[in-house]
Every structure is written in C-alpha cells, then in structure tokens.
Structure 1
Amino acid sequence: MLSTLRSVTKLSQFRGVNILKDSVRNVSQAKVDLDRLEKIKVPESNSFIQNLFTGEAKIESFFPYPKVLSDEELSFVEMVVEPAERIYATEFDALKVEKNEQIEERHMQLLKDMGAFGVQVPPEYGGMGMNNTQYGRLGEMTVGYDLGTTIFLGAHQSIGYKGILLYGTKEQKDRYLHDLATGEKIAAFALTEPSAGSDASGIKSRAVLSEDGNNWILNGSKTYISNGGIADYFTVFAQTAVKTPSGETKDKVTAFFVHRGPGLTSGPPMEKMGIKASNTTEVYFDNVVIPKENVIGTVGDGFKVAMNILNNGRYGMCCGLSGTMRRAITIAAEHANNRSQFGNKLASFTGIQEKIARMSMMHYQTQSMAYMLSGMMDKGFKDYQLEAAISKVVASESASYVVDETLQILGGMGYMRETGVEKMVRDVRIFRIFEGTNEILRLFVALTGMQYAGGHLREIQSAMKNPIGNLGMLFGAGTKRIRRSIGMDAPDIVQYVHPEFHEEAKLLSKNIVKFGLAVENLLIKYTREIIHEQMLLNRLSNSAIDIYTMLVILSRVSRSFNKNVLTAEVEKNMAKTICSEANIRIERNLNSLKCKQALKNDECMRAAARAVLENGGLVHGHPLD
C-alpha cells in the first residue's frame, strides 16, 4: 500500500495553481479567475465533471432528470412560444434579412411586442421574468428560423446586460433594466481585443480612476463585438490598478457598464461568413468617462464577472442550437420522404437512414444536455462551469454536423440559396468559436479537472511527511487506490437508472474509475509538464465529454421510461447506441494515453507540423517533380 502512495511523491514538482496559470499563457485560456487558484487547498466541488477527474461520481444532482417547471410555468412559456413561432413563420424572411444584413424596423417592433428583449428580466422592470428553462424553450424555437436575429437578441440579453442581472445593484437595475427589457435600448458585451483573442489575461484596455475619485477614464479598443455598431450600452472589461491586502498595487480586470457617448465610437460593420443580420464591429474608447457607480460587481473582479456571464449564457446556446438542428432534420426528412432516386424514395436507402438516425441522436444529446444544465441552474446548482463548457462544445459540433448532413441529403438543391440550408451551414460555423473556442474549452475542462485532482493528490503527498500522524488518511487513500486499480469500488449508478439500461450504467461506472486512474497516471508521469501535452489533454477531455454524455442520456431516457412517455422506445434505441459508441471512444481515448504507438504517432505529427511551420507552408514535394 505504501508503494502506491509513494508514487504520489513524484507530484512534488506538480503545482495545480501553476498548471492553470501556465495554461492561460500557453493556450490562451481566457475564462479563469487566476486569483481564485492561488489557494493552496482546492475547495470541494459538487460538479460531476470536476469530481470525475478524481475517479468519483457525484451524480445525485443529475438523477432524476430535472423537472423544474410547474404546469403553470410550462403553460406560460408555451403560450409565448406558440404565437412567437407563428410570427416567425409568417412575418420573418430569413433570406431577405440576410441579404439586407440588418433587421427591418417592423421586425424590431415585432420583437419588442413579443417581449423578446427582456425574457429573463423580472416583470417589475418590464420583462417576462422567465427562468432559465423557460428562456431555453423560447430560444429553441426562435433560433430555428434565423441565427442572425438570434445572435442580435442573445448578444443583447444573454451577455450584453446579463452582468446587471447577475451582479447589478438595485440602483443599476432601476436605472437600466426597463429600457433594456423593452428593447428601447440595446446592449453589447465587449471582452475580446485585437491583440488578445481568447486570452482575456492579455487585455490592454485600461481604466484609470480620476483624481476626484468619482469617475473612471477608459481607453482602449475591442473587436468582433456583436451589436457593436448599434448598442447604447456596453459591458466592458478593462485593466485597473488594485491594491492587494499586502499594500501592493496589481493590475486586475474590472467590469464596467458603459454608455455610448463622447469618446466611444464604432468601426464599420464587419463582413462575415454568416449570421449577417447580426451587427459586428470594432469599438474604440478614447478617454471615455464612466461614473464610479457603473462598476459591475467589485473592482478587480472582472474575470469572475466575465466567466459567470459566459457560463450562465452557454445553456441558451445549447437550447438554441437544438432548435436549429430540429429544423434542419425536418427539412432533411421531408426531402428524403419525397425525393426519388433509382426508382425508390431516398428514405428507403439505409445509408440515408443512418444519416437521419445520427442527426437525431446528436439532437437528442444536445437537447438533453441543454435542459439538464438549465434545470440544474434553476434548482440552484452553482458549480456548473465544466458542464456548461462541455455542453457548448457538444451543441456547436453537433449542429455543424447536422446542418452539413442536411445539405448533403438535399444534394445540389441544398447548395442553392433558396432552400436556406446553405445559410444554416454558414451560420452555425461561428458557434465553435463563440464564447471560447472549442479547442480552448477542451483544454479548460482538462486542466481545471486536473487542477482539482492534483489538489487532492497534494494532500496525500503532504500527509506522507508525517505518516504516523496521518495514518488513517493514508490507509484510506491507499486502500481506495488499490481497490480502484483492480476494478473495485466503482460508483453504483445502476440504482439510479431504469432496469432497461442497467448494462449501460455499469459501463458508465467502470469508465468513471478508468478515467480517474488515467488522470492520476498522467499527473504522476508528466507533473506540471502536462500543460505541454495538449494532444493527450484533448483525448482526456473527449473522454470526459463522452462520460458526461452517457450520464445525461441515461438520466433523460430513464425518466422517459419511468413516465411511460410515447416516445420511450425510440429514445431507447438512440440512448443505447449513443452510450455504446461513447463507451468505444472512451476506451480508445484512455488506452491511447499510455499506448506507445499512439505516443510515437503524436511525436511524428508534431515533427511534421514543426517542419511545415518553419517552412511557412507545405514541405513535401510534388509527385510530378
């Protein structure tokens, strides 16, 4: 037992704090509050993903699948959705909106009449007062018609003035929310800078307190700002000088709510691949005066504000993209049922059936994650940043696959503008970049999880300095590690799922144990150098995504069976396939972390990439030379 514990002593080189600090510098991780990570002891977390990295399974919050809406709340949102869908279907011409690259005034008025600008704002401020699940349901419908219009609305309320909803003082809410909720004023979220990209730690914009202490003076610029050319208010993030408890002055990011006024200008609308109805510009700040009462949250807490705004809004993206996928699948199914080739309907070909099935499974997975996340948020669950990141990755990649396959099923017709499918393909592409690129989010999941796991291993390492005084802890940790290493001590998930899915639950339990051991082995082998092994981190993150997928799918399908819903059998076929294929990928990815041939392949790819980069282009010659 002591030998298994001594292997942990190699972690003397590992400091979880530095892993994430270095990851910010090395992979441009933007959404981490670095000061929070200075704590030596890692705080306990209720996040399933975070605990997954230690081989634990905190799943109580995920079963049963959340049902947070009362019948009255559900009826309310459906009363809003039905007329809204009718208006979108009859009054909005998405292709015309895209051609004009702006939303017509009459459409703006329709959106105002629908209450679309203040869905989550309390009624006393002129909003609808919907919770997260209701908002997601409304977004699921609207996004299916035009992603450009949805980005305009989302940039306004999901992130533009979300900081006021989450952190605003009563005075700030009283002053701003009514005009924002009714659409009389438009908001934008200004984080990204020309030189920073995803690396928010590289923000150059700076706000300096005036001599009288009443105002902040802001200088700098932001880029790729949705609603940047039309917004009246901006949630802006800038560096500020902050005194630490030790008396040292340190630069920290602060969030401000900034009026459009003297010194604030916007560049021309940027020409984009898709979402053309959404206005996107650069924004410039030249000695912009901000009243001190317009700080959002507290001075120096800007990273925390930004992270929580983005985390809070990601479920809406998932719900919305499930709406896009639903519309695309409807178009594909209608075409397959009516189009004949070689004397048979397309729908009769098993190759087309496989496409439709995979598209439907991806929708089921995305929708399940979206409402799992919104439901947990509505139930008061706070620690969901990793689940939100995974849900965003899954939703954006699934939507890209589904709309691309829809175009493929339609063939040449799908490539033509008039069907609207090629527009969908262009529109959804941005979502793999929006609010943290999927590459950054994968690394964020892996490194945040390893930070948490490393903290627990450091506690064991520290205890070994005084083994007699910590004998109970060491004995328990050693026993647990041995039991896990031989396949014992797996979490009991079977008790939570319907009997129809006990086999899948057992696979999930085993994968959780395997995953925890894989993390531990990587930390022991690479210590803090793990930040440079991003190929391995991606496989680890993909395994976490698949494990979380299995968990969410089993929760949802179990509820369907327990309630005897009409679609339970169809859901069973999808759920079993999703879990089976996820299990295959998990096994492949985790095995590749220690497979000599896979590691050799990684080095070969790195060498090839280095040669191309050093050459500034392809190195290999032409076959005709």
Structure 2
Amino acid sequence: MSTGFSPYQLPAEYSDIRSATRDVCDAGVAPHAAEADAAAAFPQASFEALKAADLHAPHIPAEYGGAGIDALGTAIVIEEVARACASTSLIPAVNKLGTVPLLLDASEKLKQRYLPPVAAGEAMFSYCLSEPEAGSDAASMKTRAVRDGDTWILDGVKRWITNAGVSRYYTVFAATDPEAGSRGISAFVVEKDDEGVSFGAPEKKLGIKASPTREVYFDSVRLPADRLIGDEGKGFSLAMRTLDHTRVTIAAQALGIAQGALDAAGAYATEREQFGKPISGFQAIQFKLADAAMKISAARELTYAAAARSERVDADLTYFGAAAKCFASDAAMEITTDMVQVLGGYGYTQDFPLERMMRDAKITQIYEGTNEVQRIVMARELLKGKAFG
C-alpha cells in the first residue's frame, strides 16, 4: 500500500537512497521498534544498523568523513527510517540539528574537531535551546555564559533535549550579554564529559519513547574560548537559521510516520474480512485510505520542495520549512488516527504498530517549534513578501 511515488521524476540517486535505506530499515530497524518503544530504551541495535550503512548522520560533508548526502537525500533517509521507527529517525535528524550550527558558522578548526567523530558513528550531537521557562519564547533563556579570561563559564538548565545523555556533544545556546536580549545570545560546543555537565532523569513521554529526552544541567562548566560557534552575540540568529533547515527533517519524520501507518493499515484492510469480503472493499475504508494517500502525496511534495530550498538556501526557505513541518505533522496526526480506526479494536492494541505510530506522530506537531509558532512564522514571511509569488 506504499504511495512513495512522486508526480515528478526525481534523479535516480534519490531512488537509490530510498531503496537502500528501506532495505536497511526493514532488516535492522523495524524488527526492534516495538521492543524499544515498550522498554523506553535507546534503540542501540537500530543505531548500529544505520551506522553500518552510513545513514546515522548522512548530511555530514565528505570532507569531514561523512556520506555527503544533500538536504533532499537526507530528508528521504529520515522519512524511510521514520516509516519503520520514529524514535530511531531522531538519530539522523538530531545529528543534523546539533551539527548544522557548526556547518553554518563554526571555525574550520571546530568543524574538523567535532564533525568527523559524528560522521564515523563514534559520537552523536544534540541541540540545547529550550529551557524550563523558555520554550517558544527562546530568547528569554536564563542560561548564562560569562567570560573569564580565555574561557567561558556556563551555568543553566536546558529542557526537552533529545538524545541527552547518549550524545557526546551538545550545541548549547546561552546569554553572554543578558541586557541585549536576542542579540546577546551566543552558541557553544559542550562535551558530555566536561566537568559540571549532568543530566536529569528521562522524561516519561507519550511517544518517541525509545529516544531519550532529558534535562541537561550546566554547573560552572568552563569552556575554552575556541568552543564558541561563530561570533559572540550571533547565537539566536544562528539558532533560527538552523531551524529553517531542520524543520524540513521533522516534516520528513512526520511524512515517514504517516506512510508507515498507511502501509500497515492498507495491508490489514486487504486481509481482514467482514460480511464475507475484505474490508478494503467497503467505501468507508477506501475513503480513509484515499484521503491518507492524498495528504501524504501533498506532504511529500511540500517537504521535498522545502528540502531543495534548504540545499540552495533560498530566500523563501523560512516559509517553506515552516509550511512543510506544519502541514506534514498535522497530516501525520490525522492519518495515524484514521489508520487506527481502519483496524478498529486491533488498532488500539500493541499487537499492531498503529497505536505506536499515532503516539509518535503527536510530537511532530510540537517540537522544533509548535505548529502555532509555524503559522506565525509563515504569516510573518507572507506579510514581508518573502513567501512565494
């Protein structure tokens, strides 16, 4: 029941990326998804499968030891991984989220130090922006970095940090000039083993249970001056530019979850019989499947269009990144709910993957900017005349 086609023909390299990723996920990710979800444990076996195929951080350029897959190819990788296991898809997605600030603004020395271990699968990278009192209002963060000679002293708390405790490296945003508001925020690389870094207990979540989410604490963490990413005071702008690119990865994740749900429900509908025939023969079921396929097709086109803009860094990337993330995640939540309904009582049980997919879909409407924030972003771009037309 896969609708993984596109009305326009993508170059063969992208079909090859999809096919190779799907093969890896069918063999090495999907079999572990339910167990990892039930145990709320990091999917180590799935990570190893991705690592062996060089799909754990596919976006890292070849000059740093990576696969060098472009933004569209990376979106396809994340889509296919999410089709099998949403939690596992956060490995390539968050590796990208954590490293894009370096790729955008870091010194060559910093890139050469931190990107190759991620490319080799020896380390993961997380992104620390949100705080207990600074979610959507990220500029009001309380984490501070104070200069002390040739070092910085970092103090504060970050919340909702994906893969915290598993990742070795963290891109951390902190106020270096609190009086300057958003223009007084800077970005740093922090290592898990830096003295003064610690982690809270794993959050008990509705979905993406196999991806650990923890608070990260910084207690007088002393950082060398060369851990600064880009220029002092440019961190908030860097954080927003990063999200322009990585909202595309959340769109891809949502797209993959929705596709997995349609595939599972379609296969069930062709086998399950009621009133003497498969339920796929009933119009009520056909309409649900058709609506899901239609919305997935639309989400895929928008996501791929946004990915292409991410690769080119087009002027309308902000709009398209927000639009793709918002549309695809809203569609995923609606589609997974409908696909649970297709299975009826079975859809509500853990014997089938639909209930997990429904739970996993919800977070895509929330993280990397809630969909309410995405609509604000889109409206601002429209009113500034930066969105299409």
Q: Tell me if both proteins adopt one fold, taking TM over 0.5 as the criterion.
A: yes
Code of the aligned partner of 2:358: V
1:353 corresponding residue in structure 2: 286
Code of the aligned partner of 1:326: Q
Q: CA RMSD in A?
A: 2.5
1:241 touches 1:252 (CA, 8 Å); kept in 2?
A: yes
1:84 corresponding residue in structure 2: 24
TM-score, with structure 1 as normaliser: 0.58
The alpha carbon displacement at 1:243 in A equals 10
Aligned-partner Cα distance in 2 for 1:174–1:250: 29
Q: Could you say what secondary structure the match of 1:265 adopts?
A: strand
The alpha carbon displacement at 1:89 in A equals 5.9
Larger RCO: 1 or 2 (CA < 8 Å, sep 6+): 1
- The answer to whether structure 1 residue 254 and structure 2 residue 190 are counterparts is no
Code of the aligned partner of 1:321: A
1:165 corresponding residue in structure 2: 103
2:338 corresponding residue in structure 1: 405
Aligned-partner Cα distance in 2 for 1:330–1:113: 26
Q: Could you say what secondary structure the match of 2:232 adopts?
A: coil
1:240 touches 1:251 (CA, 8 Å); kept in 2?
A: no
The alpha carbon displacement at 1:414 in A equals 0.6
1:152 touches 1:226 (CA, 8 Å); kept in 2?
A: no
Code of the aligned partner of 2:177: A
Aligned-partner Cα distance in 2 for 1:106–1:319: 22
Aligned-partner Cα distance in 1 for 2:185–2:168: 22
2:92 corresponding residue in structure 1: 153
- The answer to whether structure 1 residue 123 and structure 2 residue 55 are counterparts is no
The alpha carbon displacement at 1:384 in A equals 1.1
The alpha carbon displacement at 1:375 in A equals 2.0
1:218 touches 1:288 (CA, 8 Å); kept in 2?
A: yes
Q: Could you say what secondary structure the match of 2:184 adopts?
A: strand
Q: Could you say what secondary structure the match of 2:176 adopts?
A: strand
Aligned-partner Cα distance in 2 for 1:440–1:96: 34
List per-residue Cα deviations over 1:200-234 (Å, max 9, x = no partner): 12111111111x2x111111111111111222111
CA distance change for structure 1 residues 207 and 437 in 2, over 3 Å: closer, same or farther? same
Aligned-partner Cα distance in 2 for 1:250–1:124: 33
Aligned-partner Cα distance in 2 for 1:66–1:204: 47
Which stretch has the larger CA shift, 249-258 or 402-411? 249-258
Code of the aligned partner of 2:301: S
Aligned-partner Cα distance in 2 for 1:274–1:307: 26
- The answer to whether structure 1 residue 422 and structure 2 residue 355 are counterparts is yes
- The answer to whether structure 1 residue 339 and structure 2 residue 339 are counterparts is no
The alpha carbon displacement at 1:106 in A equals 3.9
The alpha carbon displacement at 1:93 in A equals 1.9
Aligned-partner Cα distance in 1 for 2:173–2:312: 30
2:65 touches 2:120 (CA, 8 Å); kept in 1?
A: yes
- The answer to whether structure 1 residue 269 and structure 2 residue 202 are counterparts is yes
**1:381-530 correspondence to structure 2 within 5 Å:** 381-450=314-383, 452=384
Of 130, 134, 138, the residue aligned with 2:73 is 134
1:200 corresponding residue in structure 2: 138
Of 325, 331, 344, the residue aligned with 2:258 is 325
Q: Which runs of 5+ in 2 are unaligned?
A: 1-6
CA distance change for structure 1 residues 396 and 169 in 2, over 3 Å: closer, same or farther? same
Code of the aligned partner of 1:386: Y
Code of the aligned partner of 2:167: A
Aligned-partner Cα distance in 1 for 2:42–2:179: 46
Code of the aligned partner of 2:112: D
Of 142, 160, 168, the residue aligned with 1:232 is 168
2:71 touches 2:311 (CA, 8 Å); kept in 1?
A: yes
CA distance change for structure 1 residues 375 and 224 in 2, over 3 Å: closer, same or farther? same
Aligned-partner Cα distance in 2 for 1:449–1:140: 28
Aligned-partner Cα distance in 1 for 2:267–2:156: 51
Aligned-partner Cα distance in 2 for 1:187–1:383: 27
The alpha carbon displacement at 1:290 in A equals 1.4
List per-residue Cα deviations over 1:18-60 (Å, max 9, x = no partner): xxxxxxxxxxxxxxxxxxxxxxxxxxxxxxxxxxxxxxxxxxx
Aligned-partner Cα distance in 1 for 2:314–2:20: 26
Aligned-partner Cα distance in 2 for 1:346–1:267: 47
2:125 touches 2:169 (CA, 8 Å); kept in 1?
A: yes
Of 120, 124, 128, the residue aligned with 1:190 is 128
Aligned-partner Cα distance in 2 for 1:250–1:116: 35
Code of the aligned partner of 2:206: M
The alpha carbon displacement at 1:66 in A equals 8.3
CA distance change for structure 1 residues 75 and 432 in 2, over 3 Å: closer, same or farther? closer
Code of the aligned partner of 2:103: L
Aligned length: 382
1:365 corresponding residue in structure 2: 298
2:57 touches 2:92 (CA, 8 Å); kept in 1?
A: no
CA distance change for structure 1 residues 337 and 109 in 2, over 3 Å: closer, same or farther? closer
Aligned-partner Cα distance in 2 for 1:444–1:380: 17
Where is the strand percentage greater, Structure 1 or Structure 2?
A: 2
The alpha carbon displacement at 1:327 in A equals 1.7
Aligned-partner Cα distance in 2 for 1:327–1:149: 14
1:322 touches 1:399 (CA, 8 Å); kept in 2?
A: yes
Aligned-partner Cα distance in 1 for 2:178–2:358: 45
1:98 corresponding residue in structure 2: 37
Q: Could you say what secondary structure the match of 1:225 adopts?
A: strand
Aligned-partner Cα distance in 1 for 2:182–2:243: 25
Q: Could you say what secondary structure the match of 2:356 adopts?
A: helix
Aligned-partner Cα distance in 1 for 2:45–2:300: 32
Where is the helix percentage greater, Structure 1 or Structure 2?
A: 1
The alpha carbon displacement at 1:266 in A equals 0.5
List per-residue Cα deviations over 1:556-585 (Å, max 9, x = no partner): xxxxxxxxxxxxxxxxxxxxxxxxxxxxxx
The alpha carbon displacement at 1:406 in A equals 0.5
Q: Could you say what secondary structure the match of 1:130 adopts?
A: coil
2:78 touches 2:93 (CA, 8 Å); kept in 1?
A: no
The alpha carbon displacement at 1:284 in A equals 0.7
2:309 corresponding residue in structure 1: 376
Aligned-partner Cα distance in 2 for 1:289–1:374: 37
- The answer to whether structure 1 residue 219 and structure 2 residue 155 are counterparts is yes
The alpha carbon displacement at 1:104 in A equals 5.0
**1:526-605 correspondence to structure 2 within 5 Å:** none
CA distance change for structure 1 residues 386 and 380 in 2, over 3 Å: closer, same or farther? closer
List per-residue Cα deviations over 1:540-570 (Å, max 9, x = no partner): xxxx9xxx8xx9xxxxxxxxxxxxxxxxxxx
Q: Could you say what secondary structure the match of 1:417 adopts?
A: coil
Aligned-partner Cα distance in 1 for 2:177–2:29: 51
Aligned-partner Cα distance in 2 for 1:405–1:173: 44
1:175 corresponding residue in structure 2: 113
The alpha carbon displacement at 1:409 in A equals 0.6
The alpha carbon displacement at 1:347 in A equals 1.8
Aligned-partner Cα distance in 2 for 1:404–1:191: 31
1:112 corresponding residue in structure 2: 51
The alpha carbon displacement at 1:312 in A equals 0.5
1:269 touches 1:281 (CA, 8 Å); kept in 2?
A: yes
